[in-house]
Chain A
Amino acid sequence: MSKSCLTVRNLGKNFGSKNALTGITLDVKEGEIIGLVGPNGAGKTTLIKLIMGLLKPDAGSVSLYGKDIKAVGHDVMRRVGYIPDEPFFYDFMTARQTIEFNRRFYPNWDSQKCDDLLKRFHLPLNEPVKNMSRGMKAQLGLILVLAQKADFLVLDEPLEGLDPLRRLEFLNLVLEDFLESAGRSVLISSHYLEELERVVDRVAFLNEGRLLRVMDIEQLKMEEKTIRVVFQKEPPETLLNMSGIKSVQQEGKTSYLLTIEDNFNAIYEACSRYPHFILEIYHRNLEDVFMDFSGRDNDDHK
């Protein structure tokens, strides 16, 4: 069992009378990349701010590398590289000045890496940051956390506003960094599910302030399927009640749509043993499962 860089226990946060987050429990292990997804307003940014100690929880706890966030020191926080949902820069500073300003906070600052990245991106070093495009700012933000040589990257919607090419480029840099040493970890929130699907080990689904499920991405693809089956006669009830079947939709007299979240092979076997006319599997991806968790049925927009 590998160690956790982040431990969240029963975390809760209210804004006035509104419950922003309730009962969140989550671990991020050393050596894994975890995606945080959920519709707008689900609480992703609030959760990330609590993790970074920028908000005070109303319940529960957050620990980074085994240290409670309330008592955590600079030595631990330096191991965490954070890109907020709205990266903050002093607009009047140039990229060069911004880098000089930031490096002072980090004793492990990697100047070589910083220079290499700046060269790769062709960022205008002597222009005030306010003249930079959104994509350039995102790159500058990433350079700052990578040069910090953090062990744990916490990235809040870092792909927002980047074109498809830049998104992959951005993720490649994150992966390069991840590959540099065995214990690195990444927590990344994003609406770009297709990109996220490529790079994560696990995905955490957040909706309305609750963590609905944390799933291994490969597991999700192996187990989350829909089966359309038309039996030759009424199937036994035990078949439709097998564990792992999330929902049963009857489409006709003996035809069913089974949405499966677990135990796929056994369910498929059982269906195939029973006399049938049609037995088809529809694979589901992260977006399909996301829609389920967000409470949307794709029947609605036909």
Chain B
Amino acid sequence: MRVTLLAGAVALACSGALAEEAIIMGNVESKCVINTDTTGVYGNPVAGKLSTDTADGGVEPIIRYDVALGGSYTARIVAPNSFSSSPVLTDTVFWEGSSAVKEVSDTAMADYEDNAVTYDYTTEYDLHTAGTTWFSVDSLAEYGYGKAYPAGEYRAIVTAECIAN
């Protein structure tokens, strides 16, 4: 009886030792992350002009898209066409704006700019390759016909969208 119990205990201990396995599981799924690397700033080179162009003293916003699986998402970037907040303006504002590919993490993304679809203030990019793409947005707002902007703070919004295909 004692021998049988001892043999059983040894067998159990051995089977326990054999069952020591560490399993690491992972799952790669399509994912899009929108990062705001640089917030834009309007420069005011002349009284009636606000511009994000570096030559005008502005800073272009830089938006980074990280995509885990290629072909899963479309990037859509809309440049501003109105102020979200500003002093009271009595004349019209002439808007210009567009986005451009600034940098890519993979050479296969070289055609993103050529294949971009642009309409109004919107540009769409087919994110066909996994990796990271940096986009810059330029925005220009000119007030009336040679008029000076009233003093105050001006804000406009760039919309960066990532839409699943």
| A and B found bound together | no
**B contact residues vs A (CB 8 Å cutoff):** none
**A contact residues vs B (CB 8 Å cutoff):** none
